[in-house]
Structure 1
Amino acid sequence: MNSLGYALLSMLVRKSCTGYELKQLLEVFWNAKHSQIYPLLSKLEEDEFVTYVHVEQTGKPDKKIYSITDKGRSLLQKWISNPPAPPVARDEFLIKAYAISLADVETGISLFQERLALYEEKLAKRKVEIGLMEKEYGEKLEDIKSNVFGRYILFKRKLLQEQEEINWCKWVLSYLEKEVKTNRIMS
């Protein structure tokens, strides 16, 4: 079983989902493609870690709604007690930031403005999502035994990361914009 399989089982602890819904829920910590999710769901079903209900639909393709089985829950509980692998971080933007001294200042400003806009948009969406969670689940979100607690703490973590990314972009932009002003004065 790979980490994505455990991620899918983890999503299903909270509620039964379609493959499409699972992809949306995974967004918080995993960038999985449909081509990865659906074959893995079939394998999980074959191994009896999940089961599904076939739902016929009119005017659109039928769908499967997956649920975790007791066997899947047991597997997930055992997995949770093992130490996690070191995190994998790949971010092309950070590589470009590392080599920014090779770019002209305007290119640097453009890169960081785009990153800033991206994270401001993410932050706004995350605040809405957290607000909806707080409205729907209230005090249940702070109950560590609640099946929504894990989702809530991950969304709060992402919110803090997005806020910090915004702060960092603004900090870098202050240096880049200072360089533009210095160059204008000298021209």
Structure 2
Amino acid sequence: MNTLSYILLCMLVRKPCSGYELKQYLTLFWESHHSQIYTALGKLHEQGYVTVENDATHKQKKIYHLTETGKAIVAEWLVEENKAPSQRDEFLAKVYVIALMDHQQATELLQDRLQHYRKMVKKYEQKTEEYDAITDTIEKERNLGRYLILERRLIMCTAEVEWCVWAQSTIDQLNTN
């Protein structure tokens, strides 16, 4: 079974979800396309790790539930050694050769990144505030993992904003010399 399948099962431990909801939650830490998610969910259903029911309000919408067999496979996967994290960032490849750009191009590159991460900071601040507003202890505990990831993403995005500001300052200083 591939990592995405395990991750989908993990997401369903918290609560039953539609494929769309799973995609939204996954964006916190995993990049995947809708087609990959639905293909994996289909295989998980065939293997008996999830059950599927049609949503009562939206006939097209399917809700996926984790089975006991699915919980057992998640428990086994949790004790496996983690793979090293991977990174692919086209922006960093461009930064690597920033000396080939003129000041305006370099500034635009950094400003685009800065604008993106400022939006992300606002988004994650809002999501962490939503968690803080949860008063039910059981619901708060059920959402703890998501909250921890949100806080990590917030810290990382804030650091990226700070780095962009620093990088722009460094470029500006070199440009004035």
- Normalised by the length of structure 1, the TM-score is 0.89
Which sections of structure 1, spanning at least 5 residues, go unmatched? none
Mapped to 1, the partners of 2:143 and 2:15 lie a distance apart of 9
Residue 147 of structure 1 deviates from its aligned partner by 2.4
Q: 3-state SS of the aligned residue for 1:51?
A: strand
**What is the correspondence of 1:113-128 to structure 2 with a 5 Å cutoff?**
113-128=111-126
Q: Which amino acid aligns with 1:17?
A: C
What's the counterpart of residue 161 of structure 2?
Answer: 166
Q: Pick from 75, 86, 89: which aligns with 1:88?
A: 86
Mapped to 2, the partners of 1:68 and 1:99 lie a distance apart of 47
**What is the correspondence of 1:18-57 to structure 2 with a 5 Å cutoff?**
18-55=18-55, 57=57
Mapped to 1, the partners of 2:139 and 2:54 lie a distance apart of 31
- How far does the alpha carbon of each residue in 1:17-59 deviate from its partner, in whole angstroms, 9 at most, with x for none? 100110001000012111101111000000011111112546x
Residue 105 of structure 1 deviates from its aligned partner by 1.5
For these two proteins, the number of residue pairs brought into alignment is 177
Task: Note if contact 1:12-1:66 (Cα within 8 Å) is conserved in structure 2.
Answer: yes
Which sections of structure 2, spanning at least 5 residues, go unmatched? none
1:147 maps to 2:142: yes
Q: Name which one, 1 or 2, has greater alpha-carbon Rg.
A: 1
Identity of aligned residues (%): 38
Residue 99 of structure 1 deviates from its aligned partner by 1.2
> Against the structure 1 CA distance between its residues 113 and 51, is the aligned structure 2 distance closer, same or farther, given a 3 Å change threshold?
same
Residue 141 of structure 1 deviates from its aligned partner by 8.0
Q: Which amino acid aligns with 1:109?
A: T
- Normalised by the length of structure 2, the TM-score is 0.94
